Amino acid sequence: MYAALRVIAVACALPCLLPAARAAEFPVRPLRLVIPFPAGGVSDIIGRAAAVRLAEAMKQPIVVDNRVGAGGTIGSTAVARATADGYTLLLGSLSTHAIAPHVFRKLPYDPIADFAPVGTVVVAPNIIGASPRLEVKTVKDVIALARAKPGALSYASSGIGAVFHLSGELFNLLAGVDTVHVPFKGLAAAYPEVASGQIGLIYDSVISALPHIKAGRVRPLAMLGARRSALLPDVPTMVEAGVPGYDITFWQALFAPAGTPAAAIARINAELQRSLALADVREAFAAQGAEVFPGSPAELAARVRADLAQMGKLVKLAKVEPE
């Protein structure tokens, strides 16, 4: 009789044990990381580097899927609508989760309700650069030129609604100038136009701008955040260069579709933090101007909410009309 009762008890416990066992086994097949910007750009560089280490830690391949367009919202939408099983991730950013909701009139996703935060990967400094054919050496020179010839000076960004678009609009607002936005699907395509002088200014990350700076295709003028970059220590911040109040910090983070099992989120976050703690990983990102910024899903959720509110105020101040 006791043997029979033990069999019944084990049978009753099986439904509870199986989900835990499946969670412990996660992942059992390759994962997909959607990067919503083109190959070669800052998001692609960061995402692929993180994917390599995370794949090693998870002991499963991570397939990178560049889903480009509409300021990163096409790829973000694809992940928001994906199966919430932990096998599809998004490399989201300040642009996709804090800016896009304010500059797109009919955004297909909600940055809070449609995603499960996993963890921040890096924060990376951005830069404003000038064409070497443009006769300016400082931000003050740019302001003087823009005021002398309103609407004649253009700037390149990675697309309408992207962080670099808003960076230019904030510059217009705080410097009291009128530079014209020229959007590109990816900034790699913009550099030939900047180098030739067809476009005067460009906003980009230090990560992707540095090779062009070294090659003389663009002249660095100022950092957009609150601190200088160790890679370009002589380049002042925008505030130091004469634009008080200017500060935009760019971050990249992993998100999963809303409803993804908590156990899967916890496993990915744990392995992400272990990977980012490795000295060679930190050094590799630092060499490109990015600072690893590991944290919990809750911390990322708080970051998104805070930046979403801040960017909303900034968009209104900059008078960026929703597309």
- Which tens digit of pLDDT belongs to each residue from 213-233? 999 999 999 999 888 988 899
Q: Could you tell me the pTM of the whole model?
A: 0.74
Asked if 152 and 94 sit in the same domain, the reply is: no
Let me know if residue 243 belongs to a domain.
no
Average pLDDT over the chain, rounded to an integer: 89
| Residue ranges with strand state E in the chain | 31-35, 62-66, 88-93, 115-124, 126-130, 154-157, 180-183, 201-205, 219-223, 250-257, 291-292
For residues 42-57, average pLDDT? 90
Same domain, yes or no, for 114 and 260? Answer: yes
Quick one: pLDDT at residue 24? 58
Digit-coded pLDDT (tens) for 250-273: 899 999 999 999 999 999 999 999
Evaluate whether residue 233 is within a structural domain: no
274 half-sphere exposure, CB direction, 13 A CA radius? 12
User: How many domains is the chain built from?
Assistant: 2
Higher pLDDT, 234 or 283: 234
* End-to-end Cα, the chain, rounded Å: 72
Which three-class secondary structure string do you get for 238-271? CCCCCCCCCCCCEEEEEEEECCCCHHHHHHHHHH
The pLDDT tens digits for 152-171 are 999 999 887 778 888 998 89
CATH of the domain at 288: 3.40.190.150
Apex 201 CA angle, 157 and 43, nearest 5: 35
> What residues make up the domain containing 195?
130-223
Map residue 309 onto helix, strand or coil.
helix
Q: How many CB atoms lie within 10 A of CB 219?
A: 18
Residue 5: its pLDDT value, please? 43
pLDDT of residue 288: 67
**Which one has a higher pLDDT value, 14 or 108?**
108
The reply to whether 120 and 263 lie within a common domain is: yes
Q: If DSSP codes are grouped into helix, strand and coil, which group holds residue 33?
A: strand
Q: Is residue 24 in a domain?
A: no
* Whether residue 1 has pLDDT greater than 90: no
pLDDT above 90 coverage of the chain, percent: 64
